[in-house]
Amino acid sequence: MDIIRYILRRMVLSAFVVVGVTFLVFIVAQVVPSDPAALYAGPRPTAEQIEKARQELNLDAPLPARFATFATAMAAGDFGISYKSRRLIAEDLKAYLPATLELAVFSTGMALLFGVPLGVMAAARQGRWPDRLGSLGAIASVAMPTFFLAMLLQLVFAQWLGIMPLSGRISREIAISAPVPQATGFLLLDSLLAWRPDAFADAARHLVLPALTLASYPAGVAMRLTRSAMIEILERRHIAAARALGLPSGRILFGHALPNAMGPALTVIGLSFAYALTGAVLVEIIFAWPGLGRYVSEAILAKDFPVIAAVTMVVTVCYVAMNLIIDIAQALVDPRVALT
Amino acid sequence: MPLSDTTPLLEIRGLSVTIPTPEGDVHAVRAVDLEIGRGDIHGLIGESGSGKTMTGMAMLGLVPKGSRIGAGRFHFDGQDLRQQAGRLRGRRIGMISQDPAAALNPVLSIRRQIDDVLRTHRDLPRAARRAEALALLAATGLPDPEKVLRSYPHQLSGGMQQRVVIAQALATGADFLIADEPTTALDVSVAMQVLALLRRLVAERNLTVLMITHDMDVIAEACDRVTVLYAGRSVETGPVEEVLNRPAHRYTRALLGALPDAVPRGARLAVVEGSFDDPDPEGAA
């Protein structure tokens, strides 16, 4: 089968990307002009302390040997200790990564859910008011600065209307008096596993505003891309043929034109997912969301190299996985993709 | 024979289609008379731009937005197509599109593309639709319908694609089919097979076909009657043998004279004179 061969080929390529990034991360650590041993030894270290740290970190071993150690540790999920906090990085990631993934998945889903149907509608009513209104909305949602939209949403929905929580992942009452037992770190999943509908609803409400903020840009881009792809597809002869066969216009739009027009939107959605993983620092700060973006930006300022490396690796794997999913989705939507 | 069988299925008098464009009105169809009897395969022949495809589109109610349709009479089985075209489309009037490679959606399986037509026009449960799809594919002479059903258009040859397009048209349940250049995209031997298939289906299923083409060979091979279109006007109509052997109109003679066979070997091919901008050209009208 073409499609299975295609998926296998994509997976091998993905593995190469991960190995390549591992190598790059390691090399960058070698050229950064700061002494890891000095950082590791703590503030105002003596020469002996630095020398001790150097031995502890095995910094005197030859480069290939150190890369091997680094790569095997990464593969085993052993990211080492933060120079700064001395905490196990893997423990930190267990808290931050699910929060970030939850937000990224939801905002990506929202972008698809809003952007694609609006693009289809605009294309179907090209040049008339639904198109003009939708296109204006798309430009606004792309042009609006993230932090401004975040604060605007907070002002309207949390401050004025009071129907959405201002920030955080879950209400204090639930977190303190009846916390959800942590199993996966994904609050929505955990509250379902523990069968806590109250906690589920609360966590979902906390997700809405930050997810909406993050979805704004990709939804606008997806809308524009879907619109232009649909306009092109609707001119094709097979659409005229479907009309001549008397198919209802809704089925022609969503069943016969949209599958051909999904490609560009899927691609931009994949990119926006990657962006949401670490690029969402401002959103995380404004909504007090305990995500990877804040974690890694603090690590960068502190030159906390093991943390930076760990986050880079984790984000790479997430991104590669997402791309793989999108490639497979593209091939399922359009079987000709698997032939290239 | 009941009375309704003697009245023509399609009756058109003085059809015109005017398409507004920023550069002014385009008179795609000026004055077409067309009468098609039940069970006939009626050819509509003319050069590109003579208005033959737009005539077919008007019957389906699929003219470009803003177009004006004028006609003394534009009736299908007693119903006025000016109001009823949208309702009859797919129910009574079906379409076999030209260039099957373009007429089939490249990203949908054949099963989806036939099933969608069945779902729209026939009230059948899923399993019955599948059986019907297989029967239709078999009726168009496709070997291994099961395999075709699972295929995507790019996995089929041009002739197979055209048979799938014909199966789609049959799936609507329509009894009048407009075949728009059904063989132009095919090589000659496959084209002849497809025409034979159409003839057989017409006889087996009591169909009536309007065959739009620019190819005299298609008319000679497949049609009972023919109407010749020139610059948006029907200039001659009659039984195929009569029109081919004793063309009454100068344009028809010019068209026949332009066939490669009509010219002695080695001589220059004849050219049809005149242009559509000048509806009364020397040598044609």
Q: Where are the alpha helices (DSSP H) in B69-109?
A: 81-88, 100-103
Q: Assess contact for A237 and B102: CB atoms under 8 A.
A: yes
Alpha carbon distance A291, A189 (integer Å): 17
For residues A264 and A177, membership in a common domain is answered with: yes
Residue B285: per-residue pLDDT: 35
Question: Measured between CB atoms, which of B97, B116, B117 is closest to A237?
Answer: B97
Q: Give a yes or no: residue A14 inside a domain.
A: yes
Alpha carbon distance A191, A179 (integer Å): 9
Q: Assess contact for B92 and B51: CB atoms under 8 A.
A: no
Asked if A251 and B120 come within 8 Å (Cβ–Cβ), the reply is yes
For residues A223 and A114, membership in a common domain is answered with: yes
Q: Give a yes or no: residue A81 inside a domain.
A: no
Residue B130: per-residue pLDDT: 95
For residues A29 and A156, membership in a common domain is answered with: no
Q: How far is B58 from chain A (nearest CA, A)?
A: 11
Q: Give a yes or no: residue A328 inside a domain.
A: yes
Q: Give a yes or no: residue A87 inside a domain.
A: no
| Residue B279 predicted with pLDDT over 50 | no
Cβ neighbours of A240 in B, within 8 Å = 62, 97
Question: Minimal Cα distance from B97: which residue of A?
Answer: A241
Residue A340: per-residue pLDDT: 64
ipTM field: 0.83
Q: Give a yes or no: residue A92 inside a domain.
A: no
Q: Assess contact for B270 and B276: CB atoms under 8 A.
A: no
For residues A139 and A218, membership in a common domain is answered with: yes
Q: Where are the alpha helices (DSSP H) in B2-140?
A: 52-60, 81-88, 100-103, 110-121, 126-139
Question: Measured between CB atoms, which of A236, A246, A260 is closest to B121?
Answer: A246
Q: Where are the alpha helices (DSSP H) in A32-170?
A: 36-40, 47-56, 63-75, 89-124, 129-143, 146-153
What is the tally of structural domains in chain A? 2
For residues A185 and A44, membership in a common domain is answered with: no
| Residue B4 predicted with pLDDT over 70 | no
**Chain segment B97-106, per-residue pLDDT in tens:** 888 889 999 9
For residues A138 and A178, membership in a common domain is answered with: yes
As given in the structure block, the two tokens for residue B32 are: 């077409």
CA-atom Rg of chain A in angstroms: 24
Alpha carbon distance A340, A104 (integer Å): 30
Share of chain B above pLDDT 70, in %: 89
Alpha carbon distance B39, A283 (integer Å): 70
Question: Minimal Cα distance from B180: which residue of A?
Answer: A241
- Out of A11, A40, A75, pick the residue that ends a domain: A75
Q: Give a yes or no: residue A80 inside a domain.
A: no
Asked if B60 and A244 come within 8 Å (Cβ–Cβ), the reply is yes
Share of chain B above pLDDT 90, in %: 59
Question: Measured between CB atoms, which of B102, B107, B169 is closest to A260?
Answer: B107
Asked if A241 and B165 come within 8 Å (Cβ–Cβ), the reply is yes
- Out of A43, A75, A107, pick the residue that ends a domain: A75
Give the model's confidence band at B187: pLDDT under 50 very low, under 70 low, under 90 confident, else very high.
Answer: confident
For residues A200 and A101, membership in a common domain is answered with: yes
Question: Minimal Cα distance from B119: which residue of A?
Answer: A247
**Chain segment B256-278, per-residue pLDDT in tens:** 777 766 667 777 767 666 655 54
Domains of chain B: 3-262 (3.40.50.300)
For residues A176 and A316, membership in a common domain is answered with: yes
Residue B278: per-residue pLDDT: 47
| Run of H or E residues at B177 | strand B176-180
Residue B273: per-residue pLDDT: 65
**Chain segment B115-171, per-residue pLDDT in tens:** 999 999 988 999 999 999 999 999 999 999 999 999 999 999 999 999 999 999 999
Going by their DSSP bridges, the two strands B225-230 and B41-45 should be labelled as: parallel
pLDDT tens for chain A, 340 residues long, are: 678 888 899 999 999 999 999 999 888 877 776 777 777 777 788 888 888 888 887 778 888 888 888 888 888 888 888 888 888 999 999 989 999 999 999 999 999 999 999 999 999 998 888 899 999 999 999 999 989 999 999 999 999 998 899 988 888 888 888 888 888 888 888 888 888 888 899 999 999 999 999 999 999 999 999 999 999 999 999 999 999 999 999 999 999 999 999 888 888 888 888 888 877 888 999 999 999 988 999 998 988 888 998 999 999 999 899 889 888 888 888 888 877 6
- Which residues of B sit within 8 Å Cβ distance of A? 60, 62, 89-91, 94-95, 97, 99, 102-108, 112, 116-117, 120-121, 152, 154, 165, 168-169, 171-172, 178
Cβ neighbours of B97 in A, within 8 Å = 237, 240-241, 244
A-B CB pairs within 8 A amount to 76
Question: Minimal Cα distance from A252: which residue of B?
Answer: B116
Question: Minimal Cα distance from A262: which residue of B?
Answer: B107
For residues A139 and A25, membership in a common domain is answered with: no
For residues A165 and A301, membership in a common domain is answered with: yes
Q: Give a yes or no: residue A44 inside a domain.
A: yes
Helix (H, G, I), strand (E, B) or coil at B14: strand
Backbone angles phi, psi at B73, to 5 degrees: -150, 135
Identify from B107, B112, B121 which residue to disrupt to test chain A contact, counting A C-beta atoms within 10 A and taking the largest count.
B107
Q: Assess contact for B173 and B121: CB atoms under 8 A.
A: yes
Residue B105 identity (one-letter amino acid): N
- Out of A75, A106, A128, pick the residue that ends a domain: A75
Question: Cα separations (Å) of A281 from A64, A270, A303?
Answer: 35, 19, 17
Q: How far is A244 from chain B (nearest CA, A)?
A: 6
Q: Give a yes or no: residue A84 inside a domain.
A: no
Q: How far is A229 from chain B (nearest CA, A)?
A: 15
At A246, which CATH number?
A: 1.10.3720.10
For residues A65 and A204, membership in a common domain is answered with: no
For residues A57 and A158, membership in a common domain is answered with: no
Alpha carbon distance A79, A71 (integer Å): 10
Segments forming the whole domain that contains residue A203: 97-339
Helix (H, G, I), strand (E, B) or coil at B18: strand
